[in-house]
């Protein structure tokens, strides 16, 4: 269930909150439990789109997929 908030928090803030609550670095499994609760902020969406676009640029190297 997603919590209704007036302003979305970033993934970095969400991880920082979990780290503070646990008193240690969260494990990958613990981070994966947060994924369904997270709605990306507009900035995170833009950064992800830019990252995807950079990853799809041709490099001139042969592809093996």
Summarize pLDDT for 15-50 with one digit per residue, the tens.
999 999 999 999 999 999 999 988 889 999 999 998
Q: Is residue 16 part of a domain?
A: yes
Looking at the domain assignment, is residue 1 inside a domain?
no
Cα gap 14→4, rounded to integer Å: 14
Residue 60 placed within a domain: no
Taking the whole predicted model, whether its pTM rises above 0.85 is answered as no
Q: Which domain holds residue 37?
A: 11-53
pLDDT for residue 14 is more than 60: yes
Task: Give residues with Cβ within 8 angstroms of 8, minimum separation 6.
Answer: 39, 40, 41
* 3 found inside a domain: no
The answer as to whether 31 is a domain residue is yes
The answer to the question of residue 58 being in a domain is: no
**Residue 60, pLDDT score:** 72
**Is pLDDT above 90 for 1?**
no
pLDDT category, 57, cuts 50, 70, 90? Answer: confident
**Residue 36: inside a domain:** yes
Total number of domains constituting the chain: 1
Which tokens in the block code for residue 23?
A: 């008193």
């Amino acid at each position: 269930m997603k919590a209704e908030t007036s302003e979305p928090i970033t993934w970095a803030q969400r991880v920082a909150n979990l780290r503070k609550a646990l008193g240690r670095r969260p494990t990958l499994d613990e981070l994966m439990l947060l994924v369904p609760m997270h709605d990306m902020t507009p900035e995170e969406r833009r950064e992800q789109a830019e990252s995807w676009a950079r990853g799809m640029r041709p490099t001139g190297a042969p592809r093996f997929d």
